[in-house]
């Protein structure tokens, strides 16, 4: 599908996305984990291209890379566009990156057309949108919206570094997070791949996102006793993995029951299960699970957590181990995208002759946090077979360009309409 006469340069946009894709752990394409040297290398590329496009760049105290170009009427405040440049392990080339590159291309397209906005325009690469090694996601957008608290800053990654020290290491300042909190942003728009199958299966060009799912992340730790796998009789074991394996099955069963009730969406996943000491001839002494539960209805989260609490405690007792932790690491409520911005995005897609639909997001995004300080909305573009968080993740060049054009046209429309609001 070749989109002709889009008001931006699809090849230039594509080259930014592919340039970032080259910066990856070669053994695990595509991996650029937040706070790593590879992440900083990717950030340096983005910052260079921001500068080349005429943006002044800075890292705010929340660790976000921000490119800024002043508007004709600075008193009007800021319109911001962005996403994230970090990836999940063995992730894709488009999740987050397509949104950052879209912001950059919009700046160039406005420059090339000799257009200066009345509002100041900012392009933001948010720090650590993906769940980081410290156990927290959306670190930068939490910082920009006042939801990065001291407890979170004391989270530690397996090597022992605290999040506060990692934040400082990438240019943030954990002692001055108040300076990251913004009140001058009037609207935030994020382009993202759908990470689902709706757009592709219905041959649609773009999706206007209606809501973003709420995400609760819970850590559960079981402590038993490491023992010899050959000489320890079964009835004398305190096998932490037996309790953990039951807990994984419990997570799935409770989630299926809640999801089957309808009409609300409910899913839960155990994506991390760390076994210690993790040797074939040692009865596991300790297991740590990380549970990711998502729903459009917070009442279901409460029911899920209370059932999981009760039943995982019972699983510990049955395996003769201790459940030493049942901790909520983060809890973001579901968010409705701004209705007026959705109207603007739909009009932009229509004016560009694009086939569109409204749809909810089962993925979390920085836009969810940004909705706490300003009008916030998203555009999805199709990705092949809905695949994401895997190296097979793919979006067509013209599909990304079409979505970026919707954001561009919406930014120009908002530059006018926000003044009337
Ligand atoms: O996990 C998510 O939903 C997002 O991709 N970070
Ligand atoms: Mn992701
Ligand atoms: Mn993402």
How do the pLDDT tens digits run along the chain, 421 residues long? 455 689 999 999 999 999 999 999 999 999 999 999 999 999 999 999 999 999 999 999 999 999 999 999 999 999 999 999 999 999 999 999 999 999 999 999 999 999 999 999 999 999 999 999 999 999 999 999 999 999 999 999 999 999 999 999 999 999 999 999 999 999 999 999 999 999 999 999 999 999 999 999 999 999 999 999 999 999 999 999 999 999 999 999 999 999 999 999 899 999 999 999 999 999 999 999 999 999 999 999 999 999 999 999 999 999 999 999 999 999 999 999 999 999 999 999 999 999 999 999 999 999 999 999 999 999 999 999 999 999 999 999 999 999 999 999 999 999 999 998 7
Nearest CA to ligand 1 atom 6: 130
Contact 155, 163 (CB under 8 A): yes
Q: How many CB atoms lie within 10 A of CB 421?
A: 9
Q: What are residue 254's phi and psi, to 5 degrees? A: -65, -40
In ligand 1, which atom is closest to the CA atom of 95? Answer: 5
CATH class of 215-332: alpha beta
- Give the span between the Cα atoms of 349 and 266, in whole angstroms: 30
Which ligand sits closest to the CA of 87?
A: 2
CA of 84 from ligand 1 middle (Å) equals 11
CA of 246 from ligand 2 middle (Å) equals 28
Q: Which of 315, 260, 256 is nearest to 289 (CA)?
A: 315
pTM of the predicted model as reported, rounded to 2 decimal places: 0.94
CA of 84 from ligand 3 middle (Å) equals 7
CA of 192 from ligand 3 middle (Å) equals 7
Residue-level pLDDT at 1: 41
The segment(s) of the chain belonging to CATH 3.40.630.10 are 10-213+334-420
CA of 33 from ligand 3 middle (Å) equals 13
Q: Is 23 helix (H, G, I), strand (E, B) or coil?
A: coil
User: Of the residues 362, 364, 378, which should be mutated to test ligand 1's pocket, given the most ligand atoms within 8 Å of the CB?
Assistant: 364
Contact 313, 222 (CB under 8 A): no
- Orientation angle between helical segments 10-21 and 397-420, nearest 10 degrees: 110
Contact 349, 341 (CB under 8 A): no
Residue-level pLDDT at 211: 96
Q: Which of 131, 175, 170, 130 is nearest to 153 (CA)?
A: 175
Residues at CB less than 6 angstroms from ligand 1: 95, 129-130, 137, 363-364
Tokens (6 digits) for 46: 């983005």
- Give the span between the Cα atoms of 279 and 137, in whole angstroms: 30
User: Of the residues 32, 86, 88, 360, which should be mutated to test ligand 1's pocket, given the most ligand atoms within 8 Å of the CB?
Assistant: 88
Which ligand sits closest to the CA of 130?
A: 1
The segment(s) of the chain belonging to CATH 3.30.70.360 are 215-332
In ligand 1, which atom is closest to the CA atom of 215? Answer: 3
CA of 151 from ligand 1 middle (Å) equals 22
User: Of the residues 33, 127, 131, which should be mutated to test ligand 1's pocket, given the most ligand atoms within 8 Å of the CB?
Assistant: 131
User: The domain 10-213+334-420: what is its CATH number?
Assistant: 3.40.630.10
Tell me if the bond preceding 202 is cis, omega within 30° of 0: no
User: Of the residues 89, 127, 130, which should be mutated to test ligand 1's pocket, given the most ligand atoms within 8 Å of the CB?
Assistant: 130
Q: Is 295 helix (H, G, I), strand (E, B) or coil?
A: strand
Which ligand sits closest to the CA of 96?
A: 3
Contact 200, 383 (CB under 8 A): yes
CA of 95 from ligand 2 middle (Å) equals 6
* HSE-up (13 A, CA, CB side) for residue 355: 12
Which ligand sits closest to the CA of 363?
A: 1
If you compute the radius of gyration of the chain from its CA atoms, what whole number of angstroms results?
Answer: 23
Strands in 7-94 per DSSP E: 56-59, 65-69, 78-84
- Give the span between the Cα atoms of 139 and 136, in whole angstroms: 7
In ligand 1, which atom is closest to the CA atom of 294? Answer: 3
CA of 16 from ligand 1 middle (Å) equals 22
CA of 387 from ligand 1 middle (Å) equals 13
């Amino acid at each position: 599908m070749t989109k002709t006469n889009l008001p931006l340069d699809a090849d230039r946009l594509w080259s930014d996305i592919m340039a970032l894709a080259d910066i990856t752990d070669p053994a695990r394409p595509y991996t650029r984990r937040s706070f790593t040297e590879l992440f900083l290398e990717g950030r340096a590329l983005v910052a260079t291209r921001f500068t080349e496009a005429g943006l002044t760049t800075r890292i705010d105290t929340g660790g976000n890379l921000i490119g800024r170009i002043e508007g004709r009427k600075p008193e009007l405040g800021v319109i911001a566009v962005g996403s994230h440049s970090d990836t999940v392990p063995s992730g894709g080339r488009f999740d987050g990156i397509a949104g950052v590159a879209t912001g950059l291309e919009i700046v160039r397209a406005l420059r090339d057309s000799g257009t200066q906005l009345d509002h100041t325009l900012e392009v933001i690469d948010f720090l650590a949108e993906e769940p980081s090694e410290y156990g927290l996601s959306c670190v930068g957008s939490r910082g920009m919206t006042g939801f990065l608290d001291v407890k979170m800053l004391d989270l530690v990654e397996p090597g022992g570094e605290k999040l506060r020290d990692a934040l400082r290491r990438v240019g943030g300042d954990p002692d001055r997070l108040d300076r990251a909190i913004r009140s001058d942003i009037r609207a935030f728009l994020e382009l993202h791949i759908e990470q689902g199958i709706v757009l592709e299966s219905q041959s649609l060009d773009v999706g206007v996102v209606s809501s973003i799912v709420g995400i609760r992340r819970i850590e559960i730790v079981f402590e038993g006793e490491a023992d010899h796998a050959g000489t320890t009789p079964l009835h004398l074991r305190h096998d932490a993995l037996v309790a953990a394996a039951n807990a994984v099955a419990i997570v799935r069963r409770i989630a299926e029951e809640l999801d089957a009730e309808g009409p609300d969406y409910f899913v839960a996943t155990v994506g991390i299960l760390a076994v210690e000491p993790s040797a074939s001839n040692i009865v596991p002494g300790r297991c740590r699970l990380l549970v990711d539960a998502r729903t459009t209805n917070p009442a279901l989260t409460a029911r899920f957590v209370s059932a999981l609490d009760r039943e995982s405690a019972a699983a510990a007792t049955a395996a003769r181990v201790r459940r030493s932790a049942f901790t909520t690491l983060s809890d973001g409520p579901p968010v409705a995208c701004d209705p007026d911005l959705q109207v603007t995005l739909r009009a932009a897609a229509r004016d560009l002759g694009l086939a569109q639909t409204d749809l909810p997001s089962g993925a979390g995004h920085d836009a969810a946090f940004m909705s706490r300080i300003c009008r916030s909305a998203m555009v999805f573009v199709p990705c092949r077979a809905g695949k994401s968080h895997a190296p097979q993740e793919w979006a067509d060049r013209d599909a990304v360009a079409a979505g970026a054009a919707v954001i561009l046209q919406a930014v120009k429309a908002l530059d006018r309409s926000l003044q009337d609001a």
